Amino acid sequence: MEFKNAIFTYTLNFIKAFIESKNIVYCMGIILIGLFDTVLFAYGSKMNRRKLIKRIIIFILVSVSMTAILFSVEKYYFEERVAKTVLMGRAMSAQIEERLNHEIGITEFFEILMKTDHEKTIEKFDEVAERLISTAPELNSIQLAPNGVVTYIYPHSGNEQGLVDLFADADRRSDAVKARDSKKIVITGPVALKQGGTGLIARNPIYIGDKFWGFAIAIVKMDDFWEALPEFADISERFVCNIHATENGVSKLIYSNGTVSEKKLKATSDMELVDGTVWTMELYPKGGWIGVMRRFFTTSFLIFLIATIYMLVIKTDNVLMDAHSNARKASYDALTGVFNKGEFEKKLQLLEKEEQESGFIYMDIDYFKYINDNYGHDVGDKVLTAFAKRVMNAVREEDEVYRVGGDEFVVYVPRQISDEMYFIMRERLKNHIEQEFSVDGVEIIMRASIGMASYPGERSNLREAVRLADIRMYKDKNKNHALHKSGDSTFYKRGKESV
């Protein structure tokens, strides 16, 4: 009786601890399993104390283990989603930067024309402006302002209120003087336009010889600009997005579709305009990094998993566990835990059958033989395991990692790899791989040789694409070896081996 009371008291304390953790859904599962154990107590007289203790120990171990997995999964998902959002933000920022600078850069083209033949440029202004604005449809207008007086506007209709003296206008004088005196483009805005709406105004001072002639002006209507970016519309729908400019330590809001507490982690990316102004984009998922529904389903699944594993450990035959273990060994590399060479061959056969667009990134560990020869295979195995883990952490969820040789690995990407995508993936892989690793008293900086190829973009035959990635990897290896032999100081660092 005392034994049963002690176990029951422990169960209540365990439930209380999880309730205080505020993970209510998980606590409900703990309570249900606790009730299940209470039923076991009712049949305590029919089983010996050793079996009863074993069930309680299994219950505690499974519950604690699944709790750790819950927080590990959420942490991994959180870090992965932040990383993906950062990459998405960088890609979007690069697109915004490129388009804005292209549209603002039209003023530089007019500057060249004016310095070449300003009279003819003025005479042909409408014709030239029409052609240029067709390449930048988000432009509200292009203007010329001799001596700071806006005189020529295209299109003229609807923009008549833009015909102002910039130096006489109180709202425009400061930036006009700044552009004239600095002899550099000055971007103003977003500001309310006299023509209606809000816009970004770029004023490029034109000097013919040493004499100030006036300004070439481009006005970007920001509402039209954002709407012209379909990817931005998707981002704005899924994320709280804020873009602000920082100049001389002062921050100015450029775009906002909501507010987020300063304490919350946001994915940030920068873009730089032609005048040197830096814009920063901040993204935060509207449902939070780990949404309520995801947390609910993850937790619910883990509750089910706890109950299932609990029952399986008690009742499942060892033969079933061995069968599961054997099936895993057939597909996975026993040392590193990634897919093995046999699975890679199966994957290639499937891709050939389906003619699936694919990308392959071949890589191996530089100077791996040096490790085995000098420190033994035990250290080498630990390096391989750490390398595989870092690669797995670096790739995306849909990518697959295979070990196809001693220290050779392949990342399969279910699409063709563009140069930009390869650059991003290569940098991400190197950032994860090339970190110090301490094993058995040896400090190592791992390095990898990497080669990439796409099918059918680069080769019409899938296996030829695989071979091309392998060849490029070896070319990269030769390059790395030549660099190290030439005396690159990063190869040896104060007694640490760099591999």
Cα–Cα dist 8/226, whole Å: 61
Query: Do residues 254 and 278 make contact, with C-beta atoms less than 8 angstroms apart?
Result: no
Q: Residue 214: pLDDT above 90? A: yes
Query: Picking from 290-294, 329-333, 407-411, 470-474, which range would have the lowest pLDDT averaged per residue?
Result: 290-294
Q: What is the distance in angstroms between the CA of the first residue and the CA of the last residue of the chain? A: 63
> Distance between CA atoms of 383 and 378, rounded to whole angstroms?
9
This prediction has a pTM of 0.49
pLDDT higher at 441 or 97: 97
Question: 438-460, pLDDT tens digit by residue?
Answer: 887 778 888 899 999 999 989 98
pLDDT band at 6 (very low <50, low <70, confident <90, very high): very low
pLDDT at position 240, please?
Answer: 92
Enter the tokens of residue 303. 């509750």
Question: DSSP assignment of 330-373, as one string?
Answer: HHB-TTT-SB-HHHHHHHHHHHHHHT--EEEEEEEETTHHHHHH
Per the CB < 8 A criterion, the answer to whether 421 and 399 are in contact is no
State pLDDT tens for residues 403-433. 999 999 999 999 888 888 888 888 999 999 9
288-315: pLDDT as tens digits: 887 777 767 777 777 777 777 767 766 6
